[in-house]
Amino acid sequence: MAVTLDCPTCGKPRTYLAVPESGCPHCEAPYPPELLRHGEAHLARQAAPRPVPLTFGMYASTALGVLFLLGMVCAGLDVGTFAIDNELVSGPEFLRRAGFPFVLIGILSLSIGYAMWRERWWSRQLVLVFWVVANGLGVIFALQAGIPIGSVVPRAAMGLAVILGPTAAYFFLKDNVVAYYNALRMERDASHRN
């Protein structure tokens, strides 16, 4: 892993395996701090490529979002078969009764796919928000179906813990994932300081 820095004084490039502590070897001018920050961020990014599960998640989130939103377009056009509680309903009726949660899940899924595709450092927080929202929607549907709140809340809490715990551990404790997101944050910080 290497980084090439172009000296702002003489314009000559030099490739380094680590961020240099001294200046340009050609004209001996010191490198500006922002150039060194960019070099350090670039080296950190090279050392921490996107983990394979995140690449899979990027494609899966995008596909899920497209499917949910495409389904809502089909419902609006009354194309296809729709059911709520094993009862066949028209597309517009499905959209009226269940459209909001489907659109919300679709938008969140597409947002996660976009954030991962564009390598945004906040994509992991968005995944956690997705699971909280999905769990909340499940609680609302269960309550609307007449399931007693005393039965819904413990199951929802257990479901959220079972999903959110391992997901948070993966994003915030797994070494290669933490290194990847730290490198993304370094890149962002280096570009914002200029």
Residues 79-109: tens digit of each pLDDT: 999 998 889 999 999 999 989 999 999 999 9
Closest among 113, 104, 112, 107 to 135, alpha carbons compared: 104
Residue 22 pLDDT exceeds 90: no
User: pLDDT for 39-76, tens place per residue?
Assistant: 787 777 777 889 999 999 999 999 999 999 999 999 99
Residue 146 pLDDT exceeds 90: no
DSSP for residue 174:
-
Q: Name residue 16's amino acid.
A: Y
Closest among 110, 167, 113 to 135, alpha carbons compared: 167
- As a whole number of angstroms, the distance between CA 125 and CA 150 comes to 29
Sequence-ordered list of residues with C-beta below 8 angstroms from that of 163, at least 6 positions apart, any chain: 131, 135
Task: Judge whether 21 and 36 are in contact, CB under 8 Å.
Answer: no
pTM: 0.78
H helices present in the chain, as ranges? 33-47, 52-76, 91-117, 123-144, 149-173, 175-192
> What integer pLDDT is reported at residue 31 of this predicted model?
79
